[in-house]
Amino acid sequence: MTFENLGLIEPILKALQSEGYTKPTPIQEQSIPLLLQGKDLLGCAQTGTGKTAAFAIPILQKLFLSKNDAKGKRKIRAIILTPTRELAVQIGDSFTTYGKFTGIKNTVIYGGVKQFAQTQALQQGIDVLIATPGRLLDLMDQGFISLKDIEYSVLDEADHMLDMGFIHDIRKIIAKLPIKRQSLFFSATMPAEILDLSSKILGNPARVTINPEQTTAERVEQAVYFVGRDDKTKLLIHLLQNEKIDSALIFSRTKHGADKVVKLLAKTNIQAAAIHGNKSQSARQRALDNFKSGQSNILIATDIAARGIDVEELSHVINFDLPNVPETYIHRIGRTGRANASGTAISFCDGEERAYLKDIQKLIEQKISVVNDHPFVDDGTFVPTKKQVRPPRRPQTSRSNGARVDSTNGHQAKSNKSYSRKRY
């Protein structure tokens, strides 16, 4: 199967060819024909499966084929809602890339920065708007944005929206959309609240599901290092100094932990940047741009802030902290080993995290290779205290990916308290 077989128009095929894309991913192969037929879509898939192109390409094609040649300001005909700034920027870049020969204009709006540049772009006229909920509502209230001409709406990372407390905002936005439109709804998991929301957005949707097992990159070499909690930073320094690591995206469970690792690495002259919700938008974007361009090669991130990070030829993902939800592990390691590149996923596992490792291996149905040839091997004699026992898995009604977890004992913490919509 190639993109030519999907019935795409020449301007989009030309853009895909210029990027070296010839074969669609499974979600693209299944979704694009359905969307070109005008069907609503309920998609269950994680970042890393190629879902952005799965909805961007057909939207661009349909907008191009129904372009209004009449003079006058462009009207917003497609809207994509997404939870974080980074993911919004990433989606905007994708629309620009795939639509560069179509003349379709897009812009991205998000909070945390002054609105002037965004309102200028809106006033000049655009076809596609990519937005985070908070800033969208702000600019709607100010009269800069009308949704009355929307023909295509996409809700991306819906379960992440729920986890961040955006569902009320989403409902307010949906109420402003025209009843007659094509709607797309993507979520990595389908808890009850998400299914209820999807039923209010979609008519009789087609369904596409890409199972988590399918998203684990086959080219990713996985390894786990058993190490005491207090020795994790020492092990990280050891690996960065002695192994060939061209670029590394390092996952920390907490914002404080990410900052702490950056400071400890700096003491050994290893330069790294942290990206998380407490960083200013300019600091986050600068760190992300430097990492993507190759000016820096070590980025430490929380799961939420890492949304939208898509780096070509990323050699390593390092789980400094193992996630307490196994699906999050799959989401993380899928950021390396993409396309034709190879990649390595390294996980640090202390005594409290061994139960998490067991759950991960059960989900991916394989044993991860253990590396014992390092100076900080944990002998496995850790015995959890009553306060350190393994926390229960969250019920299916809550988010499975990118959860914020308390740094002392791994228990689920309330995410809404730390991530207000204004930040995103």
DSSP for 59-102 reads HHHHHHHT---SSS-----EEEE-SSHHHHHHHHHHHHHHTTTT
Least confident interval from 11-25, 60-74, 294-308, 375-389: 375-389
Q: Report the alpha-carbon distance of residue 154 to residue 79 in Å, rounded.
A: 6
Q: Is residue 398 included in any domain, yes or no?
A: no
Tell me what pLDDT residue 288 has.
Answer: 84
Higher pLDDT, 312 or 2: 2
The pair of three-digit structure tokens given for residue 147, joined into one six-digit string: 């949704």
Q: Is residue 375 included in any domain, yes or no?
A: yes
Backbone torsions φ then ψ of 343, nearest 5 degrees: -160, 165
| Global pTM exceeds 0.75 | no
Residues 172 and 225 in one domain: no
Residues 200 and 231 in one domain: no
Domain end among 194, 210, 226: 210
Q: Report the alpha-carbon distance of residue 244 to residue 240 in Å, rounded.
A: 8
- DSSP for residue 236: H
Q: Is residue 393 included in any domain, yes or no?
A: no
Say whether pLDDT at 43 is over 70. yes
Residues 290 and 260 in one domain: yes
Total domains, the chain: 2
pLDDT in tens, 138-166: 999 999 999 999 999 999 988 888 877 88
Residues with Cβ within 8 Å of residue 206, at least 6 apart in sequence: 34, 39, 40, 41, 42
Residues 20 and 81 in one domain: yes
Tell me what pLDDT residue 348 has.
Answer: 97
Q: Report the alpha-carbon distance of residue 24 to residue 5 in Å, rounded.
A: 10
Higher pLDDT, 403 or 118: 118
Percent of the chain at pLDDT exceeding 90: 50
Q: Is residue 401 included in any domain, yes or no?
A: no
CB–CB of 249/316 below 8 Å?
A: yes
Least confident interval from 24-28, 105-109, 401-405: 401-405
Stretch 33-44: mean pLDDT: 95
Model confidence at 54, pLDDT cuts 50, 70, 90, reads: very high
Tell me what pLDDT residue 399 has.
Answer: 36
CATH of the domain at 112: 3.40.50.300
Q: Is residue 420 included in any domain, yes or no?
A: no
Q: How far apart are the first and last CA of the chain?
A: 38
Residue span of the structural domain in which 238 resides: 215-382
Residues 241 and 377 in one domain: yes
Residues 191 and 235 in one domain: no
Q: Is residue 257 included in any domain, yes or no?
A: yes
Residues 225 and 115 in one domain: no
Residues 186 and 223 in one domain: no
Q: Is residue 85 included in any domain, yes or no?
A: yes
